[in-house]
Structure 1
Amino acid sequence: MTDISSQTSFVAKEFKTPLPPPASTTGLLGWARANLFSSVFNAVVTMLLLLLIVWVLPPFIRWAFIDAVWTGDNRDACLPKDGQVVGACWAFVRAKFGQFMLGSYPYDLRWRPELVVGIFALGLAGLAYEKTPGRGRLALFMTTAFPLLAFWLLYGGLGLEVVETANWGGLLVTLVVAVTGIVASLPLGILLALGRRSKLPFIKIVSVVFIELWRGVPLITVLFMASVMLPLFLPEGVNFDKLLRALIGVALFTAAYMAETVRGGLQAIPKGQYEGAASLGLGYWQSMRLIILPQALKIVIPGIVNSFISLFKDTSLVMIIGLFDLLGSVQRNFADANWSTPSIAPTGFVFAAAIFWVFCFSMSRYSQYMERKLNKSHRR
């Protein structure tokens, strides 16, 4: 008879060191196989896109960098000479950079908007970094004192020379309209979303009418009404600044869309959360502030950021009412006879597109970071 111990001698008495995963599933090769060539359709689409990139990218690089003109004082620098191929006219952007950023703001006073932008950038960076000391106090400063400080520095008064908003322009106007719209539309949108879900008929009807009215018209119509039609309904001698009218119109328009985004988050919260808040003896506003809204806003972060990005791009529409944002300032400088060449228009548009892309991409990436952070904390 065979010894049983000899039959079981192959049993391992300790764990073996696990083998590394196949090379085809890790690294760049594994990522490409999983994301770009996971099926026949994906492989075909990937190859077509690669062919498109190979067809478009080299000519663009040659136009934007190799054949580009980087220095010059006038249009002569960007005109072809002796059959020379001329690409982008970055000399035009360098010459007009101050106007692209600040419009017609007086040159000797440009330290004021530069100081405002510097404080805003530092404050935004401090709020984005989680370990910033006194982050709560910084948030309070940025939402209360900073807007007043920024208006005083930009407009003037109280010892500073007044600069009318008609002289503002460029990226400055884009940031003023976008930031004001973002800051004002979020709390107003939350209140409208709560009002639409209210059990009080009057509040619900007012909220519904407001939301549907503003969502039913395009932003260009809102800006036109705010700039042209609104003064007709005001008493004689009463008038509002054109930029202020645009800010109010943009904020109200964006708030209506924000309300529907937030309402979607509120509807996604299970009924048990509301019942749990009531069982703890919390009132309506306490339960909303402490339990419901934090969860709802976390759910709709992509929708909120999407509204912010859309608003940032839509600021270019203020050009129709005589306000020159970044894109408007770029287009206005095309009429400068000193720089009139065929290459300045595509160069200016590419420059404006790059600025818009940087801001929009930054907002998108930060929102994704916040989503991952909140999901990790929720899993804990």
Structure 2
Amino acid sequence: MSQLSIAWCRDTLLPQEEPPEGQGGIVHWLRSRLFNSLWSSLLTLIVLMLFTALANAVFPWLANSVWQADSLGECRSILDGQPGACWGVIRERWPQLVFGFYPQAAYWRPLMAFGLLFVALGPILFQRVPSKLARFSVVYPGLAFWLIWGGSLWLGVLAYVGLALALLAFTLSRRLGMGLALVIAMMVAGAWWLRGLGPVAEMLEQVVAMRLVPVSSRDLGGFLLSFVVGVSGIAMSLPLGILLALGRRSSLPLIRLMSVTFIEFVRGVPLITLLFTGSLLLNYFLPPGTSFDLILRVIIMVTIFSTAYMAEVIRGGLAALPQGQTEAAQALGLDYWKAQRLVIMPQALKICIPMIVSTFIGLFKDTTLVVFIGLLDPIALSTAIRASTEWQGIYWELFLFIGSVFFVFCYGMSRYSIHLERRLKTDHH
């Protein structure tokens, strides 16, 4: 009986061929995407008409822009009755919009702090950046504070000494229990910052003086103020939100009740109310003569507000994980904190990436609310510019410039979240 050789699958690939006629090119794309039905064609035509009308109204205004003008009157005389944008206000007032009333001779300090921010974020956001730079990421907050506000460098250095003492106290007292060790660590750090930091800094300053000219918080404004409040709130709300989410899911009734009460209370109060509380009411609860910087109070309130929302976002990611992940971590012999750090939290954060970035974007845009408590954010400065005699009556140019800067940074965060989702995607269908 002869054996037949039957090929069950092809061992060579067919050569690539051109698509059938009418199934490729721009005409097919337009027909399949924009004109594939009556309603789709109608909506496409309506949108095209709207875009055409918008372009006809905006393009001549932008094309006839004036940059070399020192006042709105001079700009209008150059335009001679023709419609056109007067960008001279941006050319003349951009330092005020960016830095507020920060001393002009010290512009290099916030610019250096802004540039070093990307160096500090490199090892956190990107895999290809050397991990050794993570040490600089730890040092950066104190360095940025010193660059922007000035004063003695020893204050920032000794603040890190307080963190080191807290870590040492936590390590030595960990056998007493995680909660008690955290309380001891916070007490040690607080005692150092309140009692030891100031005298030791003055003594070291007399030995080796390392100072920059101090800049008052009232001089900070514009986008510099928005970046300081926004970046500080973003950096602190994520770890605090993780702890609060774990507290809400804790098996200890007291910790769970405190976490739930904090989250629900803060989420039920508008941010502007917290800002007024930080700027007006907080001083009543402090000892007489205590000076508490207004921007620091705003950062604390913005962080508290964002932390409550971040905790709910992360709790949703934790709830989305199957119970088998926790059981698998327990089967490996991992304790609670190792299981959260190595197994549970990485997966939960990956699930929550879109909502985490959305919360960050909302927080960054909400920094403009500080205008209601007297801080000079870009919106407040634009109002002051429009009230001046040179630029009284100008509107669109200032708001378009401010909106464009916010859009660039918010869009950048959005694109990075998409990149991070693709990089961490491990499921293939």
TM-score, with structure 1 as normaliser: 0.89
Per the TM alignment, residue 46 of structure 1 is displaced from its structure 2 partner at its CA by: 2.8
Q: Amino acid of the residue matched to residue 74 of structure 2?
A: A
Note if contact 2:151-2:214 (Cα within 8 Å) is conserved in structure 1: yes
Q: Amino acid of the residue matched to residue 223 of structure 1?
A: L
> How many angstroms apart in 2 are the aligned matches of 1:345 and 1:62?
17
1:75 counterpart = 2:125: no
Note if contact 1:69-1:86 (Cα within 8 Å) is conserved in structure 2: no
After TM superposition, list the pairs within 5 Å mapping 1:292-311 onto structure 2: 292-311=344-363
> How many angstroms apart in 2 are the aligned matches of 1:194 and 1:34?
48
Note if contact 1:25-1:33 (Cα within 8 Å) is conserved in structure 2: no
Moved more, 151-160 or 202-211: 151-160
1:167 counterpart = 2:204: no
Per the TM alignment, residue 28 of structure 1 is displaced from its structure 2 partner at its CA by: 4.9
Name the counterpart of 1:5: none
Q: What are the ranges of 5 or more consecutive residues in structure 1 without an aligned counterpart?
A: 1-11
Q: Amino acid of the residue matched to residue 410 of structure 2?
A: C
Q: What are the ranges of 5 or more consecutive residues in structure 2 without an aligned counterpart?
A: 1-9, 153-210
- Tell me, what secondary structure is at the counterpart of 2:291? coil
Per the TM alignment, residue 329 of structure 1 is displaced from its structure 2 partner at its CA by: 2.0
Q: Amino acid of the residue matched to residue 231 of structure 2?
A: V
Per the TM alignment, residue 232 of structure 1 is displaced from its structure 2 partner at its CA by: 1.9
CA gap of 1:260–1:34, structure 2 versus 1, over 3 A, is farther
> How many angstroms apart in 2 are the aligned matches of 1:23 and 1:365?
37
CA gap of 1:282–1:331, structure 2 versus 1, over 3 A, is same
Q: Amino acid of the residue matched to residue 315 of structure 2?
A: R
> How many angstroms apart in 1 are the aligned matches of 2:81 and 2:46?
33
Per the TM alignment, residue 58 of structure 1 is displaced from its structure 2 partner at its CA by: 2.7
Name the counterpart of 2:303: 251
> How many angstroms apart in 1 are the aligned matches of 2:348 and 2:294?
36
Per the TM alignment, residue 77 of structure 1 is displaced from its structure 2 partner at its CA by: 2.3
> How many angstroms apart in 2 are the aligned matches of 1:238 and 1:14?
82
Per the TM alignment, residue 57 of structure 1 is displaced from its structure 2 partner at its CA by: 2.1
Note if contact 1:69-1:77 (Cα within 8 Å) is conserved in structure 2: no
Note if contact 1:78-1:86 (Cα within 8 Å) is conserved in structure 2: no
Name the counterpart of 1:372: 422
1:91 counterpart = 2:143: no
Name the counterpart of 2:264: 212
Out of 337, 358, 365, the position equivalent to 2:408 is 358
Q: Amino acid of the residue matched to residue 312 of structure 1?
A: F
Out of 144, 157, 170, the position equivalent to 2:151 is 157
> How many angstroms apart in 1 are the aligned matches of 2:38 and 2:291?
64
CA gap of 1:18–1:359, structure 2 versus 1, over 3 A, is same
- Tell me, what secondary structure is at the counterpart of 2:406? helix
1:316 counterpart = 2:368: yes
The number of aligned residues is 362
1:185 counterpart = 2:237: yes
**Superimposed CA distance per residue, residues 89-130 of structure 1 (whole angstroms, 9 cap, x where no aligned partner):** 100111001011100001111111111112123444565443
**Superimposed CA distance per residue, residues 268-290 of structure 1 (whole angstroms, 9 cap, x where no aligned partner):** 00111111111111111111110
Higher RCO by CA contacts (8 Å cutoff, separation 6 or greater)? 1
Per the TM alignment, residue 59 of structure 1 is displaced from its structure 2 partner at its CA by: 1.6
Per the TM alignment, residue 328 of structure 1 is displaced from its structure 2 partner at its CA by: 2.2
- Tell me, what secondary structure is at the counterpart of 2:128? coil
RMSD after superposition: 2.2
Q: Amino acid of the residue matched to residue 244 of structure 1?
A: L
Name the counterpart of 1:54: 52
Name the counterpart of 1:7: none
Name the counterpart of 2:132: 137
> How many angstroms apart in 2 are the aligned matches of 1:13 and 1:245?
71
Q: Amino acid of the residue matched to residue 206 of structure 1?
A: M
TM-score, with structure 2 as normaliser: 0.79
- Tell me, what secondary structure is at the counterpart of 1:300? helix
CA gap of 1:30–1:362, structure 2 versus 1, over 3 A, is farther
Q: Amino acid of the residue matched to residue 59 of structure 1?
A: A
Q: Percent identity?
A: 44
Name the counterpart of 1:21: 19
**Superimposed CA distance per residue, residues 23-51 of structure 1 (whole angstroms, 9 cap, x where no aligned partner):** 65556555545544455444433332222
1:288 counterpart = 2:340: yes
Q: Amino acid of the residue matched to residue 160 of structure 1?
A: L
- Tell me, what secondary structure is at the counterpart of 1:79? helix
> How many angstroms apart in 2 are the aligned matches of 1:82 and 1:109?
37
> How many angstroms apart in 2 are the aligned matches of 1:69 and 1:62?
12
CA gap of 1:355–1:284, structure 2 versus 1, over 3 A, is same
Note if contact 1:169-1:325 (Cα within 8 Å) is conserved in structure 2: yes
Note if contact 2:120-2:140 (Cα within 8 Å) is conserved in structure 1: no
Name the counterpart of 1:199: 251
Note if contact 1:99-1:329 (Cα within 8 Å) is conserved in structure 2: yes
CA gap of 1:126–1:205, structure 2 versus 1, over 3 A, is closer
Name the counterpart of 1:6: none
Moved more, 324-333 or 350-359: 324-333
Note if contact 2:72-2:86 (Cα within 8 Å) is conserved in structure 1: no
After TM superposition, list the pairs within 5 Å mapping 1:270-285 onto structure 2: 270-285=322-337
Name the counterpart of 1:44: 42
